[in-house]
Amino acid sequence: MTVRVRFAPSPTGMFHVGGARSALQNWIYAKQQGGVFVLRIEDTDAARNKPEWTEGILSALDWIGISRGSYEGPYFQSENAGEHRAAAARLYESGRAYYCDCTREDVQARTGSQYQGYDGYHRDRGLGPGPGHALRFRTPDEGTTVVVDLIRGEPTFENKLIEDFVIARGDGSPVFLLANVVDDMTMGITHVIRAEEHLPNTPKQQLLWEALGVKPPVWAHVPVVVNEKRQKLSKRRDKVALEAYRDEGYLAGAMRNYLMLLGWAPSGDREIVPWSVIEDEFRLDEVNLSSAFFDEKKLRAFNGEYIRALPVAEFVDACQPWLTGTGTIAPPPWQPEEFDADAFAAVAPLAQTRIAVLSEIVPNVDFLFLASPLIDEAAWTKTMKDGSGELLDDAVAAFEALESWDAESLKSTLEAVGAERGLKLGKTQAPVRVAVTGRTVGLPLFESLEVLGRERTLARMRAARLRLV
């Protein structure tokens, strides 16, 4: 038997990081088993679906390494509507489903509670199809439904506690539960790997598989992803869009490494490992049962490690969208013609060790490409105190006299200027850094001055001195 897994997102918004994790888990499992990964777009919610959301799903999968052409699909659930209706009809004709015209208010009036489930009122009343008549599945009165789960063992559900659930609405359109089962049958899905939030629906789906005469798939319900308050990640409350992390400058390798650690860990005391190790070692039966905490701070640290591990040439290439304003949300503060690729290449090794996401490259190097630095006023107020003007005067004079404009000469010269005033280098260089870069922190100062050049460095120091008059 060829293993066939599926990833079935709905195109109703940005691509959720939890969905990305499920996609990766399915992808790896299929590769390990020599199987097939199927992409199915569950697009039956016409009111919320948009073509751009579908394209967003495909692009996000591309980004994390599940590229187009390497999987089967995408299929669209809406294209299988005929099969959904045919399955509903078979269930009715076989006596496994019946029609009901009860409203929610009717059920509440009979049971006396808005929390009580459907009471089976129309089970044996012989109501036929018609407008407003929903089709309900006839759940067995006795016995249990055992879900064999690769992660959770054998969760067991008493059938008498599962209400006769709706499988087709009053207008005849099948509901998600039935459509999902029929699609999996049609596509020959053998393993369903998904988040544990779907587990309560699994006994209903398994009953539908059995009623339709097909062996259910192997189930695997992975832990739900939660925030720091141990609440399920929510699009309304949390930063969950994969695209947002991509656009901020997270590397695909770091993201997929981190996502795979949500509920699972590779062997040994290690977390950052080559993707080939994850592909080789991941095991569904080793996934933890407890909820997985999506820690953005930890992800950020992961990404910094991945950035520092890049060859410098690859780092330079990776930064280009933020440096040139292509493919990013916020354009850089300089004009394209002001960007100097050679200057950036010179400071790239210094910047690479100091940023955690690629978008941070802009505030680290903007001073190189602007006519004048963007002054952080808080930094200016904190640094430019009594005596700063005279210190800048002395530094300008000393720098003007330099024969060689290199980092080592600049450092030793400024050290001497500070020593004459009884200042250590840290105190001496602070006004110079703010004058030249606009900030109190950034790349190593003297290497930055070397790349900026004598003329521009001295001009900025003189401009800062004038501001202090």
Pair 156, 145: CB distance under 8 Å:
yes
Q: What is the percentage of the chain residues whose pLDDT exceeds 70? A: 99
In angstroms and rounded to an integer, the radius of gyration of the C-alpha atoms of the chain is 31
Contacts of residue 462, Cβ cutoff 8 Å, sequence gap at least 6? 396
Residue 31 has pLDDT above 90, yes or no: yes
Q: pLDDT digits over 155-209, tens only?
A: 999 999 999 999 999 999 999 999 999 999 999 999 999 999 999 999 999 999 9
Beta-bridge mates of residue 70: none
Q: Which of 31, 160, 229, 235 is catalytic?
A: 235
State the DSSP H helix or E strand holding residue 306, giving kind and residue range, or none if neither: helix 296-309
- Average pLDDT score, the chain: 94
What integer pLDDT is reported at residue 106 of this predicted model? Answer: 85
Cβ-based neighbours of 76, under 8 Å, separated by 6 or more: 40, 41, 43
Rounded to whole angstroms, how far apart are CA atoms 252 and 180? 30
User: pTM for this structure?
Assistant: 0.91
pLDDT tens digits, one per residue of 282-329: 999 999 999 999 999 999 999 999 999 999 999 999 999 999 988 777
Question: Is 235 among the residues known to form the active site?
Answer: yes
Q: Among candidates 241, 350, 278, which has minimal Cα distance to 15?
A: 241
How, if at all, do strands 36-41 and 72-76 pair? parallel
| Distance between CA atoms of residues 110 and 108, nearest Å | 5
Q: How far is CA 68 from CA 13, 42, 59, 72, 365, in A?
A: 20, 18, 9, 9, 36
In the chain, the domains with their CATH numbers are: 4-73+176-224 (3.40.50.620), 84-168 (3.90.800.10), 310-365 (no CATH), 377-467 (1.10.10.350)
Written as six digits, the tokens of 398 are 């000393």
DSSP letter at 145 equals: E
> Which DSSP state fits 99?
E
Query: What's the pLDDT score for residue 327?
Result: 73
Tokens, residue 418: 């500070």
Q: What is the pLDDT of residue 115?
A: 58
> What pLDDT score does 113 carry?
64
What is the average pLDDT across 85-104? 95
